[in-house]
Amino acid sequence: MSLPTEPVILGVEQIGELNRKLADLRHDVNNYASLILASAELLRRRPETAERMMANLIEQPPKIIASIKQFSNDLEAALHITRP
């Protein structure tokens, strides 16, 4: 990782955009985690739904990872952080 050699100055619009993206990230992670918890609770109460619920459970962690990666990329771009 390469950090900028000079201070990075962000404008009000840039800070606002990063804040919006962070809010989107929180919202996405909350939604995906809620789906995981709801699926787990349903499985606990109705084990016969396991086969149907597994697809839902398996889809959620990659979505969380993708959301975090996108925010990380946006943050690094705004702060002029580069990766080799």
- Residue 2 within any structural domain of the chain: no
Residue 10 confidence (pLDDT): 95
Whether 20 is in a domain gets the answer yes
pLDDT at 76 over 90: yes
Owning domain of residue 26: 12-78
- Is 36 inside any structural domain? yes
Q: Is residue 84 part of a domain?
A: no
* Inter-CA distances, 18 with 12, 28, 70, 74, 76, Å: 10, 15, 12, 8, 11
User: Model confidence over 11-47: pLDDT tens digits?
Assistant: 999 999 999 999 999 999 999 999 999 999 999 999 9
**pLDDT of 19:** 97
Task: Identify the pLDDT of residue 55.
Answer: 86
Q: How many CB atoms lie within 10 A of CB 32?
A: 19
> What is the number of structural domains in the chain?
1
What sign does the dihedral 83-10-12-19 (CA atoms) show? positive
Distances (CA, A) of 55 to 1, 35, 49, 58, 80: 36, 12, 11, 5, 38
Question: 6 in a domain, yes or no?
Answer: no
State pLDDT tens for residues 39-69: 999 999 999 989 888 988 999 999 999 999 9
Whole-model pTM? 0.84
